[in-house]
Chains A and B, each alone.
Chain A
Amino acid sequence: MNPSVDALRATFGTAIGRALESCGDTIVYVARDALLDVMAWLRDTPEQAYDYLVDVTAVEYRDRERPLEVVYGLRSLARRADLRVKVELDPQGDLTVNSVVPVWRGADWLEREAYDMFGITFQGHPDLRRILMWETYTEGFPLRKDFPLRGRFSRAEQVRQALAAHPEAHYSMEELSIAEAYEELPADMKERLRRGEHGKLPDSE
C-alpha cells in the first residue's frame, strides 16, 4: 500500500474514504468536495510531489447500483510513485465534480473528454464543451452504460443529422475574445455557449 494514503488520512481525515490495492496499484477514494484541496496538497507537499497527471477518466459499472467513478492517475516523476485517486458520483444524480485544471493544465482536454463521453460536469473548467462529438450532438453521452452501442437513432437519422451539420462551424471572433473571461460571463450566455450556439452576443441581437 502506498504510504501517501496514511499521510492523506492524517491530513484530511474523513474526506479520505476507503483505500484498496488492485494489481499492485493503490487506489484511494476521496470525497467530492475535498478533491481540489487533496490534489493541490498532493502536488505541492514535498514528501508527496505528485507533479504529473497521468490521466483523467471515468468508469461506469454494469451494475447499476454501483456509483460512477471519476479516476485520476497521479505520478511523482522524481519519486517514481503512482497513486490513483477516485471520486464517486451517483449516476442518477448530480454528476458534478471540481475541475483540476487549476492544478494541472494537462487536465483540460481530458476533462472535456470525460464530459463528452460521460456527461460529468467539471466545475471551474475554463472551456467545458464537447471535444470528440460535435457540439450539436443530441444522442447523449456515448460511454454511459444506458447508451446503446449503435446509438439511439436509426442510421438514416444519424446520417441526416451528420450531413446537416455545418462543416465550417467554429467559435466566432466574439467567443474567442471572451473565452479567456469565460468565468465572468452571465449564466445564460454560458449556457448558450455550452449548447454550441455561435456568434450570438447580447449586443448583436
Chain B
Amino acid sequence: MSKRTVELELATPGVDARGEPLRVPLGVAEPDLGTEHMLINIGPQHPATHGVLRLVVELDGETVVRVIPHLGYLHSGFEKLGEYRHYNQIIPLTDRTDYLSPMANNVGFALAAEKLMGITITPRCTVLRVIACEMSRIISHMVWLGTTSIDLGAFTPFLWAFQERERIYNLQEMWTGARLTTSVTRVGGMMADVPDDFVAGLRHFTRTFPKTLSEIDRVLTRNAVWVGRTQGVGVLTAAEAINHSLSGPMLRASGVAYDVRKDKPYLDYETYDFDVVVGEHGDVYDRYLVRLEECSQANRILQQALDRLPDGPVNIADPRVILPPKSRAMNDMEAMIYHFKQVMEGVKAPVGEAYVGIENPKGELGTYLVSDGTAKPVRWRIRPPSFINLSALPRMAAGHLLSDLIAINASVDIVMGEVDR
C-alpha cells in the first residue's frame, strides 16, 4: 500500500466491503504518520522581519520547535570606523546605528565622551538633551506600533503613527536641518540651539499627541484580534529576562522595575516626575502596553522639560572643545587657531575609559569608550540593546505557532542597524 493510499484512507471515513461505515476501533493507536520536521527560511528580505533579519525555523506541523536567527546582514563596521574618527566625527555614525531614535544615540555618545574628558555641560544643554531623548522615544515607539500592527493585521495605526512621526520630523528638521540623521549633539554641547518657534511647536505637539495615543489605545487595547494574538504569547519571566540581560521595555514588561533613567540617572532625570512602566506577565501584550504608556510618560517629561528650559548658552565655554563661531574664526587669530586645531587634530581625550548607559527606546544603549590619549578612541563599543533583546527570541518562540513567531519577533522591537552594527 503506497503512502498516498494510506493518507486517502485516513482522510475519508468510507465504508468497508459489506457497506458498513468504517470505524477506527477504540484502543488502537494511530498509525505512525511519519511526521518530519520542516525547515523554513524567513528573510533576510521579508516584510515581517523588520529589516534584514533572517530566521531559520524548524517546524513540527505549525509549531515552532527551534528558531535560529542569522544576523549580520547589515553589519557595517561601525566600531572599526570609530577607531579612525575623531570623537565629534563619530556622532554622525551614531545616527545610523539605531536610525529609529537618532537623537538619543547622539546623546548617548556625547555623554560617554564627556564623561571620558571630564566635561560638565550647561543647564540649557542638559534640558535640550532630555527633549531630544524623549522625542526619540516617541518616534521610535511610533514606528514599533505601526509596523507591529501591520504584522498583526491592523493597517490604520500605522498611518496614525507615521502622521505623528512626521510632526516630530518637522521639529527635528527645524532644529537640525535633517529629518532622520540629526547629529544633534557635539562633545560639550549641541550642534545648535533650538530655533525660536521650536518650543511653541513642541508644546503644540505635546498637547495634541495624547489624542492620537488614546485613539491607538481605543483601536488596539481591547481589540479581540489584537488581544487574542498577543496575550500569553512569548512569555518571559523576570528571572529569565534578567539572565538573558534584557533591557528596556522587554525587561520591564516581565515585571522588573529597572529603568536607567531612575536607577542610574543621567541628564538630571531624577528631577523629573514620571513613572517607570512595569508589566506583569511578560508577554507580547504587556510589551505593547508598556511601550504605549511610555509614550505618554515621554510626553509628560517633554512638557516638564519645556517648562523648565533655562536660558543661557548651550555649549560650554572651552575653546579647546567647542568650535568658535564662524565670524570669530574668520576675524580673530586665536579663534582661528583653535578652529584649525580642532578640525585637523580633533579633541584629545585623557587616557582612560568610560561607560555610559542611557535608556534608549529599545533598552539600555551603552557606549564604552577607551582612550589612549589621542583624539581617536582605541575602542568605541556600542552595547546594542536590541541585539541582546533579540538573543532571547529562540527562548521565547519555542513551542508557539509560526504566526506567533511574527508577533514575538515584532515585540522585541529590533532595528537591524543596531543589531548588526
**In their complex, do chains A and B touch, with some C-beta pair under 8 Å?**
yes
| Bound CA–CA A23/B367 (angstroms) | 13
Question: Is B41 part of the binding interface, using a Cβ–Cβ cutoff of 8 Å?
Answer: yes
Question: Is A92 part of the binding interface, using a Cβ–Cβ cutoff of 8 Å?
Answer: no
Per-residue CB contact flags for chain B residues 243-256 toward chain A (1 = under 8 Å, else 0) read 11110000000001
| Bound CA–CA A131/B193 (angstroms) | 41
Q: Which of B120-152 contact A (CB under 8 A)?
A: none
- Our pick among A63, A77, A80, A176 for the contact of B242 (Cβ within 8 Å) is A77
* Contact between B56 and A84, CB atoms less than 8 A apart: no
Per-residue CB contact flags for chain B residues 184-197 toward chain A (1 = under 8 Å, else 0) read 00000000000000
- Our pick among B72, B118, B354 for the contact of A25 (Cβ within 8 Å) is B354
When distances are taken between beta carbons in the complex, the residues of chain A under 8 Å from B116 are 23
* Contact between B355 and A109, CB atoms less than 8 A apart: no
| Smallest Cβ-Cβ distance to B118: which chain A residue | A23
Q: Which of B314-334 contact A (CB under 8 A)?
A: none
Give the Cβ gap from B329 to chain A, nearest Cβ, in Å. Answer: 31
* Contact between B378 and A62, CB atoms less than 8 A apart: yes
Give the Cβ gap from A126 to chain B, nearest Cβ, in Å. Answer: 12
- Our pick among A23, A80, A104, A171 for the contact of B245 (Cβ within 8 Å) is A104
| Bound CA–CA A75/B240 (angstroms) | 16
- Our pick among B70, B387, B421 for the contact of A170 (Cβ within 8 Å) is B70
- Please choose the segment from A4-12, A34-42, A48-56 that sits at the chain B interface, where 4 or more of its residues have CB less than 8 A away: A48-56
Question: Is B275 part of the binding interface, using a Cβ–Cβ cutoff of 8 Å?
Answer: no
Per-residue CB contact flags for chain A residues 11-36 toward chain B (1 = under 8 Å, else 0) read 00000000000111101000000000
* Contact between B366 and A133, CB atoms less than 8 A apart: no
Give residues in B with beta carbon < 8 Å to A: 37, 39, 41, 56, 58, 66, 68, 70-72, 75, 77, 79-81, 84, 115-116, 118, 240, 242-246, 256, 258, 263-264, 352-355, 357, 364, 366, 368, 370, 372, 378-379, 381, 383, 387-388, 390-392, 395, 420-421
Given A131-B72, A176-B58: A142 in contact with B244 (beta carbons within 8 A)? no
| Smallest Cβ-Cβ distance to A133: which chain B residue | B72
Give residues in A with beta carbon < 8 Å to B: 22-25, 27, 51-55, 57, 59-63, 71, 73, 77, 80, 82, 84, 104-110, 113, 117, 130-134, 142-143, 147, 149, 168, 170-171, 173, 176
* Contact between A59 and B387, CB atoms less than 8 A apart: no
| Smallest Cβ-Cβ distance to A144: which chain B residue | B80
* Contact between B353 and A171, CB atoms less than 8 A apart: no
* Contact between B364 and A54, CB atoms less than 8 A apart: yes
Given A62-B372, A134-B72: A80 in contact with B264 (beta carbons within 8 A)? yes
When distances are taken between beta carbons in the complex, the residues of chain B under 8 Å from A109 are 387-388, 390-391
Given A110-B388, A168-B41, A171-B56: A61 in contact with B372 (beta carbons within 8 A)? yes
| Bound CA–CA A24/B242 (angstroms) | 25
- Our pick among A27, A54, A59, A149 for the contact of B378 (Cβ within 8 Å) is A59
* Contact between B71 and A142, CB atoms less than 8 A apart: no
* Contact between A149 and B381, CB atoms less than 8 A apart: no
* Contact between B71 and A73, CB atoms less than 8 A apart: no
* Contact between A53 and B115, CB atoms less than 8 A apart: no
Give the Cβ gap from A6 to chain B, nearest Cβ, in Å. Answer: 22
| Bound CA–CA A175/B374 (angstroms) | 47
When distances are taken between beta carbons in the complex, the residues of chain A under 8 Å from B72 are 130-134
Given A62-B372, A168-B41, A176-B58: A105 in contact with B355 (beta carbons within 8 A)? no
Most chain A CB neighbours (cut-off 10 Å) among B79, B355, B366? B355
| Smallest Cβ-Cβ distance to A77: which chain B residue | B258
| Bound CA–CA A104/B240 (angstroms) | 10
* Contact between A142 and B80, CB atoms less than 8 A apart: yes
- Our pick among B66, B245, B370, B420 for the contact of A54 (Cβ within 8 Å) is B245
When distances are taken between beta carbons in the complex, the residues of chain B under 8 Å from A25 are 353-355
What 3 pairs across the A-B complex have the smallest Cβ distances? Answer: A106-B245, A132-B72, A23-B354
* Contact between B381 and A131, CB atoms less than 8 A apart: no
Given A55-B368, A132-B75: A173 in contact with B245 (beta carbons within 8 A)? no
When distances are taken between beta carbons in the complex, the residues of chain B under 8 Å from A62 are 372, 378
| Bound CA–CA A26/B222 (angstroms) | 48
When distances are taken between beta carbons in the complex, the residues of chain A under 8 Å from B240 are 105
* Contact between A53 and B245, CB atoms less than 8 A apart: yes
